[in-house]
Amino acid sequence: MHSSRRFFLRAAALAGSAFALPSCSSAAPRPKKRHDEKLKLLVIGVGGRGAGNVDGVRSEDIVAVCDIDRLQLARAAKDFPNAQQFVDFRRALELPGLDGVVISTPDHTHFPAAMMALGRRLDVYCEKPLTHTVMQARCLQVAAKAVGAVTQMGTQIHANANYRRVVEAIRAGVIGDVERVHVFVGATDWSGKGLPKVEPVPAHVEWDLWLGPVKARDYSSAYHPAGWRRYWAFGGGTTADMACHFTDLPFWALELDAPAELRADGPEPDSEGTPRDLACEYVYPARGARKEVRLRWSCGDLVPKEELEKRGLSSWRNGVLFVGSKGWLISDYSKHEIGPKESFVGYVPPAESLPASPGHHREWILACKDRTQPSCTFDYAAPLTEAVLLANVAYRGARGKTLRWDAPRMALSGDGASMAQELLEAPMRDGWEC
């Protein structure tokens, strides 16, 4: 059976059986906690982005830290001397008494770590993109709902006040009906080409554990600790890294879900490395009062220079440009502008309706204690991740061709769809199946 189909059937089975894995078949729903009670947390991945996530949850009881790099693990252990130390998260997840898990590993190990945690009915905070493949994102969404876990994807910018003001303005119709959105990142380059130089494995790195579910290959410092995003085996380049942060804004403001079709383009795909320049045009069909929306993601030299220039916005390197029937709105993480200026003289923004966030990590912590859900639960994050990763799928499997996407069936159709369909999932190495 096709591997992606097998995963999809497994997700459906999990939903129908309340995720009755042996490790959690007798587990009762987690009780609420007082806000002054500390969560018992395992942090998987403590270097790089993981260090930032450790800071975000250090108010709680960090009972265990895990990393395949013993130098990074030792640094984390200095901050949390009472925490147990692990190099294999499969062993760490066997610890009794855990409340939740924070996952900050490279993309290719998000899914097995999160799925195993959900199998133990633990609450999960996982970095973006939620998963390495489209199918994995759907499986996590189904599993999290089945077990009633409190989940959050690490799109930290979602907590910013600026994004809230943009969402309020778009939903209030300040620029009219939004029919075009340009999401662009020109200031980040996670590109690679070919296989990197083979090097000896450093003594402090557990390389086979770093590879996790991916087929064995030789070590290179181009992969660990930071360059793995440049290679398809482990990441998804600039698109997988940055599109979740920026596409989050139109997803939230316009309540997008799944595109009906998409077309991705860029240079001839490399079998190993990710591209510097990529653009993907999505079509989101009309729904309710919302008209059809065409959203274009682009990075590198394919950012919408002409669209920016004609509005006097050439200085914007990264951002989201909403084009509406009455004007436009452009935003990045911290600021936004509305135009054309002559149409918005004396503009008064709509009344604030979205409450301030206590902080992205704090949202998840409080939700774990209250048994509620934060703003970027897997139910929201999985469709966002699917859309982002579909751009890479379309680029690698059907570059320059229009694909139709049947989201309920997780099926692509159109010229080149067969090859693209294969990229919805990646095989899991023996010992890492979930």
What pLDDT is stored for residue 434 in this prediction?
76
The Cα 198–Cα 201 span in angstroms is 9
What's the CA gap between 349 and 249, in Å, rounded?
A: 18
What per-residue confidence (pLDDT) applies to 3?
A: 46
pLDDT of residue 21: 44
Domains of the chain by residue range: 3-158+359-383+411-422, 160-191+236-343
Q: Is 160-191+236-343 in CATH node 3.30.360.10? A: yes
Least confident of 12-21, 132-141, 306-315, 342-351: 12-21
Between 85 and 16, whose confidence is greater? Answer: 85
What are the backbone dihedrals phi and psi of residue 27, each rounded to the nearest 5 degrees, phi first?
-75, 135
- What's the CATH fold of domain 3-158+359-383+411-422? Rossmann fold (3.40.50)
Residue 38 has what pLDDT? 98
**360 pLDDT exceeds 50?**
yes
* pLDDT, the chain, mean: 94
Spatial distance between the Cα atoms of 41 and 31, rounded to a whole number of angstroms: 16
Check whether 16 has a pLDDT greater than 60.
Answer: no
**Spatial separation of the C-alpha atoms in residues 88 and 426, rounded to whole Å:** 21
Average pLDDT over residues 170-196: 97
pLDDT, one tens digit per residue, over 46-96 is: 999 999 999 999 999 999 999 999 999 999 999 999 999 999 999 999 999
Nearest to 184 by CA among 269, 274, 293, 280: 280
Closest CA to 210 of 52, 51, 88: 88
Average of pLDDT values for 115-127? 97
Whether residue 19 is predicted with pLDDT greater than 50 in this model: the reply is no
Percent of the chain whose predicted confidence (pLDDT) is above 70: 94
Task: Using the predicted structure, report yes or no on whether residue 26 has a pLDDT greater than 60.
Answer: no
pLDDT, position 237: 98
Summarize pLDDT for 420-430 with one digit per residue, the tens. 999 999 999 99
Question: Residue 313: is it exposed, middle or buried by C-beta count within 10 angstroms (0-12/13-18/19+)?
Answer: middle
